[in-house]
Amino acid sequence: MAAELASQLDLHAVAPPTPHPVRKSIARTWSGLWPKLGAILLTLIFWQLVVWSGWRPQSALPGPWPVAHRLATDLSHFDFYAGMGVTLRRAALGYVIAAGVAVGVAILIGRIELARRSVGSLLVGLQSMPSIAWLPFAILLLQRSESAITFVVVMGAAPAIAAGLLSGIDHVHPLLIRVGRAMGADGLRLYRHVIIPAALPAFVGGLKQGWAFAWRSLMSAELLLVAANQTSIGQLLQSAGKLLDMQQLLAIMIVIFVFGILVDSLFGTLDTAIRRRWGLLGSEA
């Protein structure tokens, strides 16, 4: 009957003419892009003006052009990619372990009241603890190794991810749980079909925050600890500092910055997609 109604109303006749899809998507991309490009341009102009003012000598503060040139040179060298690879591998490994641990802990706390009262209160403390404070502990425990770095990354990311998922689980609408149980879902099936999907938007929020913590922890750890003579981004940054090579330093900082933006926008896209699917955004049409 509702379908009948829709066909009677002839919705197509009422709808306004839509522009060509390709042109529409270009327009949308451009409208999202130009404020960012503008901000970058303004930053570059400001930077160049500061350099031109002669506030600091060129060796202490090189202008955007030499730094861009240096960045291009770096990007054509294998060393740089090797360093990037090491850093990304560490980030990915630590992050995946953190996510796994966090999911386990969050479900445990969500299901068992005693775990909530014990581990749950520790979680808050862990979250507010700067993960780099774990580094000396990690070094004594695991020596100056890859594992020590991974450990610091995990300690940085896991509490945030667990807290996100836990708040998602806690805020599942009780009606949905009743629905699930009324349909015969219990125990793990209730988690799989109702609780976890319902908690997913908050979980993605936690994952995003966890990533930020993981990335910061990793950078700090790499600056402070050279493990197994591996070239990493943090280590390239450190040696550029020691060699007083400001061009190199800025070039690497730009790489770190851009990478952060890329990953963040990835999470942003995921977040929007999920919220739209869950009906948490106003519809666009």
Partner 1 sequence: MWAPLEREIVVSNVLALSEKHALSVERLSVAFPHGDQVLLALDGTTLEVKRGEFVCVVGASGSGKSTLLNVLAGLDRPSAGRAHVHGRVALIFQESALLPWLTAAGNVELALELRGVPASARRQLAYELLGRVHMTGFEKRRPHELSGGMKQRVALARALAQDADVLLMDEPFGALDAISRDLLHEELLRIWRESRLTILFVTHNAREAVRLGDRVMVFTSRPGRVAHEVRVDLPRPRSLDSPELAVIAGRITDRLKHEVTNGG
Residues lying near partner 1 in the complex (CB under 8 A) are found at 1-3, 6, 175-176, 178-179, 181-185, 189, 193-194, 197-198, 200, 277-279, 283
* Residue 39: CB minimum distance to partner 1, A: 34
* Residue 207: CB minimum distance to partner 1, A: 17
- In the bound state with partner 1, the residue whose beta carbon lies nearer, of 1 and 13, is 1
* Residue 165: CB minimum distance to partner 1, A: 16
- In the bound state with partner 1, the residue whose beta carbon lies nearer, of 111 and 193, is 193
* Residue 274: CB minimum distance to partner 1, A: 8
- CB-based contacts of 100, cutoff 8 Å, min separation 6: none
- In the bound state with partner 1, the residue whose beta carbon lies nearer, of 179 and 244, is 179
The token pair that represents 191 in the structure block: 């988690």
* Residue 28: CB minimum distance to partner 1, A: 21
Q: Which residue in this structure is represented by tokens 């799989």?
A: 192
* Residue 63: CB minimum distance to partner 1, A: 51
The token pair that represents 248 in the structure block: 């190199």
Q: Are 167 and 181 in contact (CB under 8 A)?
A: no
* Residue 279: CB minimum distance to partner 1, A: 3
N residues, the chain: 285
Relative orientation angle of helices 21-52 and 64-75, to the nearest 10 degrees: 120
Relative orientation angle of helices 246-277 and 233-242, to the nearest 10 degrees: 150
Query: What gap in Å lies between CA 128 and CA 137, rounded to an integer?
Result: 17
Question: What Å distances lie between residue 113 and 186, 192, 215, CA to CA?
Answer: 18, 20, 32
- In the bound state with partner 1, the residue whose beta carbon lies nearer, of 24 and 181, is 181
Q: Is 271 exposed, middle or buried (0-12, 13-18, 19+ CB in 10 A)?
A: middle
- In the bound state with partner 1, the residue whose beta carbon lies nearer, of 129 and 280, is 280
- In the bound state with partner 1, the residue whose beta carbon lies nearer, of 2 and 228, is 2
The identity of residue 208, as a single letter, is K
- CB-based contacts of 263, cutoff 8 Å, min separation 6: 211, 215
Q: Which of 219, 82, 232 is nearest to 152 (CA)?
A: 219
- In the bound state with partner 1, the residue whose beta carbon lies nearer, of 3 and 22, is 3
